[in-house]
Amino acid sequence: MLSPPTTTCNMADTGVVEALLLGLEKAEDGVDSLELSSSLGVEHQVVVGAVKSLQSVGEVISAEQRSSKHWQLTEEGVEISELGSHEARVFECIPVEGLLQSELMKLPFGKIGFTKAMSNKWIRVDKTSEGGPLIFRSVQTIVDQVREKLLNVLNGKDAELEEKEKSELKKRRLLSEVTVKSYWITKGSSFSTTITKQETELTPEMIVSGNWKDNKFKPYNFEAMGVPLDCGHLHPLMKVRTQFRQIFLEMGFTEMPTNNFIESSFWNFDSLFQPQQHPARDQHDTFFLSDPALTLDFPQDYLQRVKKVHTEGGFGSQGYKYEWKVEEAQKNILRTHTTAVSARMLYKLAQQKFTPVKYFSIDRVFRNETLDATHLAEFHQIEGVVADYDLTLGDLMGVLHQFFTKLGITKLRFKPAYNPYTEPSMEVFSYHEGLEKWVEVGNSGVFRPEMLLPMGLPEDVSVIAWGLSLERPTMIKYGINNIRELVGHKVNLQMVYDGPICRLDT
């Protein structure tokens, strides 16, 4: 990830660097690193080192990598280029008086050399001699063409060989064709044959002395990453929470005190006109408390009005007509929604002379549900509430439009829905450009008179409200599929470290 400015200049062979620059000065267009290495008689790798070091000091040269096919001697080819071909060596070792064929065959090059020398008609066999066949030279001198060709290749003059000859030598396994990578080096925009020593970094001394004016500095490698900082990070869900808070505050909403996870069933359900037999109040959906198990302290006259509206109605309602039990209302639970706090706030509001209010909260709620990749037993609910005289359903839609516009969501539509404590109730859908369909983004409604009137709010006051979860938009924003990677101790800290800032409207 991290690499300091290169310092290869020091490591490169200065002689080769100079030779390269001089060669380049003379060349019309450019030089090939491979040719240069053979003309200088150094390893190709040394020339490559010189190229790299020159590249690191700016635009002195420019080098383009290229690959070429190239003939190379095999191990056997190298041996022949040094000692001569097998057939030449056979010729050389035969004295004037001849050599027994059996003796010749004992030599390592004997067998192949004999055959080749015979076909070249350099030697002859006298099968009549006593003691076995004798071999004699049949010519005075020979030219060892095989060796000469190999030497040509070795000296980089393989162009002088015909293709046929090369393939013949290849067949004899003396030559092989290899691909060689080399550089095509040309003059750079600031080409010069002299390289001044480069400074690595600006120093305080240079600044004081003014030397920096005359110094040349090694270029930085801008391809590398910077040093990772030792820093703290905010959690993505909390970053999104901050933005939602900000949006509500921009819209003039006051924050509700939601720091009470434990709530009585009364404030969580009964005060919201949620009947006691409602499935949400089931053991399978709600966490009940064994300690502290009950709440006994309620505003008694209000409790009686709640009981009445459930049991027999009133306030214009038929009621649910069932036997409402205070024992059910007393049961303590972990709140299933922050609307329990909204109920407390609205009750409090009703005890004073009414003034219009806008409230919001973002806090934890708890559900004893089956857990999966997108559901946990606790999550954060975002809630907005407006209480004012004569609010309309159109007002609710307008407020929702403003709220979602701040989230960057402008295409909204509303679907009639059911909720025990709001009427009308609307599900909020937004058009998802990626999925090319409408997706649900929240729930909303107008609180029922059966909830508001027993609290003592004036009859012409309407209360509109909406809610959504904090986790879902966060998961979409940060591309997280499993909620456990986001919330709870199994969080992926790397994800927290790497997360961008949260701008909801972009």
Partner 1 sequence: YVWILFERDLYLINSKYYKIMSDEEFDELCFQFGLELDEITSEKELISKEQNDSKAAGASDVILYKIDVPANRYDLLCLEGLVRGLQVFKNKLEAPRYVRVSPVSGQPQKLIITKETAAVRPYAVAAVLRDITFTQERYDSFIELQEKLHQNICRKRSIVAIGTHDLDTTSGPFTYTAKPPSEICFQPLNQTKEFTATELMSLYRTDSHLKHYLHIIEDKPVYPVIYDSNGIVLSMPPIINGDHTKISLKTKNVFIECTATDLTKAKVVLDTLVTMFSQYCSQPFTVEEAEVVYPDGKTCLYPELPYRKEKLSGEFVNRKIGINESTETVAQLLTRMCLLSKLTGVGDQIEVEIPPTRSDIIHACDIVEDAAIAYGFNNITRTTPRSYTVATQFPLNKLTELLRQDVAAAGFTEVLTFALCSKEDVGDKLGKKISETGAAHISNPKTAEFQVARTTLLPGLLKTIAANKKMPLPLKLFEISDVVLKDKSKDVGARNSRRFCAVYYNKSPGFEVIHGLMDRTMQLLGVKPLRGEGYHIQAAEDSIFFPGRCAEIFVDGKSVGRLGVLHPNVVTRFELTMPCSALEMDIEPFL
Q: Is 446 exposed, middle or buried (0-12, 13-18, 19+ CB in 10 A)?
A: buried
Q: Which of residues 48-87 bind partner 1 (CB under 8 A)?
A: none
Is there binding between residue 415 and partner 1 (CB under 8 A)? yes
Determine if 481 is a binding residue for partner 1 (CB under 8 A): no
CA distance 343 to 358: 13
Q: Token pair of 290, please?
A: 């064994």
CA nearest 396: which of 366, 364, 420, 423? 423
Determine if 366 is a binding residue for partner 1 (CB under 8 A). Answer: yes
The yes or no reply on residue 458 touching partner 1 (CB under 8 A) is no
Q: Name residues contacting partner 1, limited to 427-456 (CB under 8 A).
A: 446, 448-450
Determine the interface stretch with partner 1 among 39-47, 163-171, 207-215, 480-488 (rule: CB under 8 A).
480-488
Q: Which residues of 327-342 are buried (b: 16+ CB within 10 A; e: fewer)?
A: ebbbbbbbbbbbbbbb
- Is 496 a residue that touches partner 1 (CB under 8 A)? yes
At 209, give phi and psi (nearest 5°). Answer: -80, -20
Compose the 385-414 pattern: x for residues touching partner 1 by CB under 8 A, - for all others.
-x-x-xxxxxx-xxx-xx----------xx
- In the complex with partner 1, the residue whose CB is nearer, 51 or 387, is 387
Query: Rounded to whole angstroms, how far apart are CA atoms 365 and 76?
Result: 82
State the nearest-atom distance from the C-beta of 348 to partner 1, in Å: 13
Quote the least distance from Cβ 223 to partner 1, whole Å: 24
383 is a site residue for partner 1 (CB under 8 A): no
Length of the chain: 506
Cβ closer to partner 1: 216 or 413?
A: 413
Per rule CB under 8 A, is residue 358 in the interface with partner 1? yes
C-alpha–C-alpha distance, residues 130 and 141, integer Å = 27
Q: CB of 390: closest distance to partner 1 in angstroms?
A: 6
Nearer Cβ to partner 1 (237/475): 237
What DSSP letter does each residue of 412-430 carry, written as one string?
EEEEEEEETTEEEEEEEEE
Q: How far is the CB of 269 from partner 1 (least distance, A)?
A: 14
User: Tokens at residue 162, please?
Assistant: 């015909």
Q: Which of 40, 377, 407, 504 binds partner 1 (CB under 8 A)?
A: 377
**Is position 289 an interface residue for partner 1 (rule: CB under 8 A)?**
yes
Identity of the residue numbered 180:
V
Structure-token pair, residue 169: 């030598």
CB 466 within 8 A of CB 421: no
Distance from C-alpha of 341 to C-alpha of 126, rounded to nearest angstrom:
121
| 226: contact with partner 1 by CB under 8 A | no
Q: Which of residues 248-287 bind partner 1 (CB under 8 A)?
A: 248-264, 277, 279, 283, 287
Find out whether 498 and 492 touch, Cβ atoms under 8 Å.
no
Residue 235 interacts with partner 1 (CB under 8 A)?
A: yes
Considering only 8-16, 138-146, 219-227, 485-493, which stretch makes contact with partner 1 by CB under 8 A?
A: 485-493
